[in-house]
Amino acid sequence: MVSKAVIVLIIGLLGMVYQATQLPAPKSNDYDSVVDDEENGFMVSTRIQLSDGRFLAYRESGVTKDKAKHSIIVVHGFGSSKDMNFPAPQELIDELGVYILHYDRAGYGQSDPNPKRSLKSEALDIEELADQLQIGSKFHVIGVSMGSYATWSCLNYIPNRLAGVAMIAPTINYEWPSLPQSLVRDDYRRKLIKIAMWLARYSPTLLHWWVSQKWLPSNSVIEKNPAFFNKRDIEILERIPGFPMLTKEKLRHEVVYNTLRGDWMTAFGNWEFDPMKLSNPFPQNNRSSVHIWQGYEDKVVPSQTQRFISEKLPWIQYHEVVDGGHLIVHYSGLGEAILKALLLGEEDISYKPRSSSISVS
């Protein structure tokens, strides 16, 4: 039988990944695609119907499409939704003419589940969403935390549709073939993920039963825990929501559990491609159009491993927040720096990584 301590650690890891993406729902504006469902008494998002019959919910922010100079699709992470807000100054968004499209990935929010979820389906959902909303032949994609596996998928499956890519504290799949064992062998995060994957694959009913038991500790064990978050992260946690989708009450709902389980297994299962063997999708550009933003003190995704990946892919521009943890998406000024780097090619030297040498055998 799996011990309570292991289950708590697994829930903690799930919570860490989730927390990096969760922000208070932004206030509605004239361009939010939301209508009121009077019959049921809740807000129903505008949705498109995909070619396979599923519905995908979305909302729009920033400037209107007819005024847009740049279109960005934001990919939320584990346990989050389209209601996460990309924290960039409205003045800058208006100045640059940025149209932002948020959507609920399959099974999240008000989007239908996809029982055939895969790396490729995530990329094709993004492409079909862009086509149906007619945002242009090329667009930018920003992936947050675990949502970045969909961003890697876009680089592999639809590179011709991309104008640029940014990944914020992207999670790492320890099963990528090109990751040296000497770099990841002793990483405790790898071991926790292996346990969670084994349970999710071979004993999903048992895992569902365990994570919804009353004896499990409250979210306070995860929240503000220095084992997971650094000082700046903990300060952020003082003012943002907790873990609503990871509560025992939510996890008791089979549809919620199955969505989280399927998303987790896709992100950390065997990929159909090795990201570190991808070619530069923008060889004609003089500047990098692919960016990774990472906290040096991230306790969820090790910055050393993130650096290794970026060094093996020199066409990726690597930015590092010196005192940053996993919740850097919340940090003041980061959204502005990301937009300027992604859209204008401007590098903020305060996010230039300190020099280091990574040696692996």
> DSSP for 272-298?
SS-GGGPPPS-TT-SS--EEEEEETT-
In a domain, 360, yes or no: no
CATH of the domain at 336: 3.40.50.1820
In a domain, 258, yes or no: yes
Strand partners, 291: 166, 317
Residues of the chain with pLDDT under 70: 1-43, 206-227, 240-252, 286, 355-361
How many structural domains are present in the chain? 1
Strand partners, 62: 99
pLDDT of 188 reads 84
pLDDT of 17 reads 45
Task: Give the span between the Cα atoms of 121 and 157, in whole angstroms.
Answer: 10
> Locate tokens 């199955």: which residue?
258
The 98-103 sheet, strands edge to edge: 47-49, 55-62, 98-103, 70-75, 139-144, 162-168, 290-295, 316-321
Nearest to 151 by CA among 282, 292, 14: 292
Strands (DSSP E) found in the chain:
34-37, 42-45, 47-49, 55-62, 70-75, 98-103, 139-144, 162-168, 290-295, 316-321
- What is the number of helices (H) and of strands (E) in the chain? 12, 10
CA distances from 86 to 22, 83, 144 (A): 10, 9, 10
Query: Phi first, then psi: what are they for 260, rounded to 5°?
Result: -65, -40
Q: How many Cβ atoms sit within 10 Å of the Cβ of residue 116? A: 11
pLDDT of 40 reads 47
Write out pLDDT tens, residues 123-181. 999 999 999 999 999 999 999 999 999 999 999 999 999 999 999 999 999 999 999 99
Question: What range defines the domain where residue 254 resides?
Answer: 4-351
pLDDT of 344 reads 95
- Residue 153: burial class (beta carbons within 10 Å; 0-12, 13-18, 19+): buried
pLDDT of 20 reads 42
pLDDT of 334 reads 95
pLDDT of 235 reads 85
> Letter for the amino acid at 26?
P
Which residues lie closer than 8 Å to 273 by C-beta, 6 or more apart?
119, 156
pLDDT of 23 reads 40
In a domain, 204, yes or no: yes
With both helix axes pointing from N to C terminus, report the angle between 204-211 and 188-202 in degrees, rounded to the nearest 10: 110
Q: Encoding tokens for residue 345?
A: 């090619």
**What's the CA angle centered on 272, arms 269 and 277, to 5 degrees?**
110
In a domain, 359, yes or no: no
**Cβ contact 306:294 at 8 Å:** yes
Task: Give the span between the Cα atoms of 79 and 246, in whole angstroms.
Answer: 7
Task: Give the span between the Cα atoms of 127 and 162, in whole angstroms.
Answer: 10
pLDDT of 198 reads 83
pLDDT of 286 reads 66
pLDDT of 42 reads 53
Q: Encoding tokens for residue 244?
A: 């609503």
